[in-house]
Amino acid sequence: ERKASSLGSGFVIKENGTVITNNHVIAGADDILVKVNSKEYKAKVIGSDPYMDIAVLKMETKDKFTPVSFGDSDKARVGDWVVAIGNPFGLGGTVTSGIISARNRDINLTRYDDFIQTDASINRGNSGGPLFDLDGKVIGVNSMIYSPTGGSIGLGFAIPSNLANNIITQLMTSGEIKRAWLGVRIQEVTEEIAKSIGLKKTYGALVQGLTSNSPAAIAGVKEGDIIVEFNGNEVESSRILPRLVAEGQIGKKAIVKVWRKNEFIELFV
């Protein structure tokens, strides 16, 4: 069987050699090698999350490393300067700069998309590398590019540090990810649907069906309901709802606001 190798970037978050990268960089790997300042270390996977595309690795060594620290990605604004560091095309440590082009980007990659878009040049091999603010704090994990040619055209996407941090903490603690769930099958609310049911603006998620004995079913959510808010957050579109639910606390009550028969109803799930 022909062997293939994958190349990516990463960054150290603990002095014991704990490394963050993208899941797609290490998915299905037999061996993982981490190169730090021309020295190579074998590494093992502590945990990974394919939905958020995050993997936590641990280098098998007693050497000490200088870690980087996370910043607050919620404070990042469109127009802020950022620096991307990585290993494009296997050339070695490379720094590029740019600005944050947009936030909360949904590019239909997974159900939990919430990317920082940047025009700092990101190329193949940059996946898993850090996106720094000018204080030297990691505010994103470089994850992918939009490109018809495979080269950077100023459309790079990074997982916000606040989202990544939550996933990393869970992976380091238990090696797995637990997300809250609602138990509904949903579709987009079109302008025609909104008009036909008396909804003044086009937003929310239309409930097509329910999983029996799910939190939604037990709380009284019904087929045909439009979920317009979850825990005080507006559901701008059906793509937003899975992300809001996943961020909910497991075992805690959440308020679901639905539009049903020309009125808003609040339910507790």
Catalytic residues: 24, 53, 127
Q: Kindly tell me if the per-residue pLDDT of 3 is higher than 80.
A: no
Residue 101 has, within 13 A of its CA and on its CB side, a CA count of 15
Cα Rg of the chain (Å, integer): 21
Q: Return the pLDDT at 98.
A: 97
Q: Rounded to whole angstroms, how far apart are CA atoms 8 and 170?
A: 23
Q: How far is CA 257 from CA 9, 164, 236, in A?
A: 42, 28, 13
Q: Return the pLDDT at 111.
A: 79
What average pLDDT does this structure show over 238-262?
Answer: 92
Q: Kindly tell me if the per-residue pLDDT of 253 is higher than 80.
A: yes
Q: Kindly tell me if the per-residue pLDDT of 76 is higher than 90.
A: yes
How is the chain split among helix, strand and coil, in percent rounded to 5?
15, 35, 50
> Residues 117-162: pLDDT tens digits?
999 999 989 999 999 999 999 999 999 998 888 788 999 999 999 9
Q: Rounded to whole angstroms, how far apart are CA atoms 235 and 213?
A: 23
C-alpha angle 130/33/127, rounded to 5°?
Answer: 30
What percent of the chain clears pLDDT 90, i.e. is strictly above it? Answer: 80
Please state whether the predicted TM-score (pTM) of the whole model is above 0.95: no
Q: Kindly tell me if the per-residue pLDDT of 5 is higher than 90.
A: no
Three-class DSSP category at 77 = coil
129 or 104: whose pLDDT is higher?
A: 129
